[in-house]
Every structure is written in structure tokens, then in C-alpha cells.
Amino acid sequence: MSIAFSQTEKGKSLIAASSNLNFLFISGDTNTNNEFQINFKPEISWFLAKNIALGFQMDYEYKRTKTFNSISSLSLEQVFNTQSTMTIGPQAIYFFDINDKFKAFGKGRLGLAYLGSSQGNNSINEYGRFYGLTAGLSYFISPKVSTDFGLGYDSLVFNKNNTAVNGLSVNLGFSLFL
């Protein structure tokens, strides 16, 4: 049996994580924004059959924006905004054998979502649900470690104001097969 095909057998475990860190600097005629964003997504799954895993995932994102608004030609108003988003729930993954070093995968997840945001003295906390789909490719660096590249779609719907957040993402992460 080749290296890449032995990791996804029944009874094995999968521990994965991905993260990103963004700094954005946006300027215009009337305001300037500085944005800091960090995201962390741990996952754990168990293979119930060859190439089929079920597990849990959590996704946490924090974003802080500092905006400088021009009030007049001589004064600036500084405004801070923060936002935290978290999702948690089950996931299912299916791996497709390609060759000794590569496996394609499809992943579906759903669960509960939280959104907390504040601007000055105003704050909002909302709860809802989410689902996500990802298709990608795992490259096996060693018999137990892969680097993973994926393209995903996520949808979060919050109950309070029926707010929906939908987006596409490019993901890069690492997986450990035990």
C-alpha cells in the first residue's frame, strides 16, 4: 500500500488546522482605515470507513478596524470597530485517491454561528446557523502529514435581523493523520 493511501483507513484520526493573518490599509478622500484580522480553524475527525471521516470543527475570526474620518481640513475623528465571528459544528470529509502523494477531498460542515461586533459604545451579539462546502487537494509531505489547499463557500445566517453573510475562501492548512 502506498504512503498516501494508508492514512485514510477506517479507525485512523485526522487533526487539522488552518490560519490566516491580514493587515489592510485603505485610504480615500474622506477617511483612512487600518484593519487587522486573524482567523484560526482547528478540526478533528475519525475515519469510519476508507476515505470517509466524520468530526467537529471550529472557526474563530477576529477583526479590528481603526478609521480616521476627516471632520474638517484640520481635524480627524478616530473610530474603532471590532468584530468576532465563531462557528462550531460537525463535518464530513471524503477523500479521493489520486496517486502516492496526492488526495483530493470534499468537505461539508454545518452548525451554530455567533457574531459579536462593536463600534464605539454600541455593540451587537447575534446567534444563528451556518453551512460550508470545500473542495481541495492534500499533498502528503510525509506518511502522517499533509499540506492542504482548498476552495470554499460559507453561508452564515443570523436570527436577530435575519442577516446573511456569504463568501468564498481560499484555504491553506496542515493535517496530521494518526
Q: What CATH number has the domain bearing residue 118? A: 2.40.160.20
> What domain range is 138 assigned to?
3-16+42-63+80-177
Residue 71: inside a domain: no
pLDDT band at 25 (very low <50, low <70, confident <90, very high): low
Residue 90 has what pLDDT?
A: 98
Residue 26: inside a domain: no
For the chain, what is the domain count? 1
Residue 3 has what pLDDT?
A: 45
Q: pLDDT tens-digit profile of 53-82?
A: 999 999 999 988 877 666 655 666 677 788
Alpha-carbon gap, residue 68 to 35, rounded angstroms: 12
For the record, the C-alpha cell of 115 comes out as 457574531
Mean pLDDT of 166-175: 88
Q: pLDDT tens-digit profile of 13-22?
A: 999 988 776 6
